[in-house]
Amino acid sequence: MQAPAGPDEDPRGGFIRGGWATPYLQADPEAAMAAFTGRAAHGAAPGGMLFGHRTYDDVVGYWLTTTEPNPFSEVLRASPKYVATRDPDVELAWPASFPLVGEAIQTVARLREQGDGDLVVLGSGALVRDLAAAGLVDRYVLTTLPVVLGQGTRLFAGTPLDLEVRWSTTSPSGIVTTEYAVRRP
C-alpha cells in the first residue's frame, strides 16, 4: 500500500517503487473514484474521511491544489476530514478539517457511536492497524491492482482478522474492489 501516487511520496524503508498505482487508476477513473470515496459499497457519500497526518498532507494537499479537473476535489472539499496527528500545534490547511491530537481511537469510537455515516480511511496504514486492533473497523473496501511490488508497507500486519466477502467487482482494466465485513466472535 506504500506510495501509490508518486515516486517521492514515501521512500521509508528504501521503497523505490513509488507511483506504482497511478497508471492503473488513470486508466480506470471510475474504479478509482468508487474506491476513493467508499461509494462502491453503498452508493452514498461518506459521513467523513479519516486520515493519518502524512496521508492528509499528501492526498488532500495534492487533489485540492491540482489545476487539472479531477473527480476527487468535490468530495474532499465537502466531506469532514478528521486527521490523526501527534503534533499538538498542527494547523490543517484545508476546509472542514479537524485534528485528532493523540486521541484518534477515542474520537473514532465517539464518531462511530453518533452514526453520522461511514468514516472512510484512505491509506494511513498505521492508523488502520490501530483502529483494527481496537475493534473499530467494521468493514474494509479494498482495491487491488494487477501488480505485485514485492516490497513496501503492508496494510495487514499484526491483528488477525476473520473477514467475510460482501461483494466484489472487477473493472475492465483488472482493478478488483471488494468489500469485506469484519466477523466478530
Tens digits of residue pLDDT in 22-74: 888 777 777 766 665 555 444 555 678 889 888 888 888 887 887 777 767 87
Question: Which cell is 2 given?
Answer: 506504500
The span from the CA of 138 to the CA of 109, in Å, is 12
Q: Is residue 47 within 8 Å of 116, Cβ to Cβ?
A: yes
The span from the CA of 84 to the CA of 134, in Å, is 15
Question: In what helix (H) or strand (E) does residue 100 lie, and over which residues does it extend?
Answer: strand 97-101
What is residue 70's predicted lDDT score, i.e. its pLDDT? Answer: 72
Q: Is residue 177 within 8 Å of 169, Cβ to Cβ?
A: yes
Nearest to 127 by CA among 52, 36, 47, 48: 52
Q: Is the pLDDT of residue 10 over 50?
A: yes
Q: Is residue 136 within 8 Å of 63, Cβ to Cβ?
A: no
Sequence-separated (6 or more) residues with CB below 8 Å from residue 153: 1, 2, 10, 12, 13, 15, 125
Residue whose grid cell is 486492533: 133
Tens digits of residue pLDDT in 130-156: 888 888 888 888 888 899 998 888 888
Report the percent of the chain where pLDDT is more than 90: 11
Q: For the chain, give the mean pLDDT.
A: 82
| Full-model pTM | 0.80
Which domains does the chain carry? Answer: 12-182 (3.40.430.10)
Residue whose grid cell is 491540482: 66
